[in-house]
A = this chain, B = another copy of it.
Amino acid sequence: MITINPSDKTPIFEQICKCVCRDIAVGTLREGDRLPSARELAKMLTLNPNTVAKAYGMLERDGIIYSVQGKGCFVAKHEGKANEKLTENFRSAVREALDAGADPEELITVVKELSLRYQQNKRSE
Enumerate chain A interface residues (CB-CB to B < 8 A): 6-7, 9, 11, 18, 21-22, 25-26, 61, 66, 68-69, 71, 74, 76, 83, 86-87, 89-102, 104, 106-108, 110-112, 114-115, 118
Contacts and interface: CB of A to CB of B under 8 A. Distances in A.
Contact of A69 (B11, B102, B111, B112): B11
If over half of A's interface residues share one DSSP class (helix, strand or loop), that class is named, otherwise mixed; here it is: helix
Identical copies in the complex: 4
A95 B8 CA distance: 14
A91 B112 CA distance: 11
Contact of A104 (B76, B100, B115): B115
Nearest to A60: B7
A27 to B, nearest CB: 8
